[in-house]
Amino acid sequence: MRIVFFLYDGFTVLDAIGPFETLSRLPGAEVTFVAKQTGLVANDNQLIDIYAPQSIDEVDSADILVVPGGTADEAVRNDPHQMDWIRKVSQTTQVNASICTGSLIFAAAGLLTGKKATTHWARYDVLESYGAIPVAERWVDHGDIITAAGVSAGIDMGLHLSAKLAGDDYAKALQLAIEYAPEPPFQSGRVSDAAPETVELVAAMMGGEETPPSPRPLPAKMHRVSRGG
C-alpha distances (whole Å) from 7 to each of 67, 103, 227 are 7, 14, 37
Answer yes or no: 100 catalytic. Answer: yes
Helix 168-177 with 13-23: angle, nearest 10 deg: 120
User: 10 with 50: CB under 8 angstroms?
Assistant: no
At 136 the three-state DSSP class reads coil
- Burial letters 88-102, b for 16+ CB under 10 A, else e: ebbeebebbbbbbbb
Round to whole Å and give the CA distance between 186 and 134.
26
**DSSP character at residue 189:** S
Q: Which of 86, 100, 109, 161 is labelled catalytic? A: 100
- Burial letters 8-21, b for 16+ CB under 10 A, else e: bbbbbbbbbbbbbb
Question: Which residues are catalytic, by number?
Answer: 100
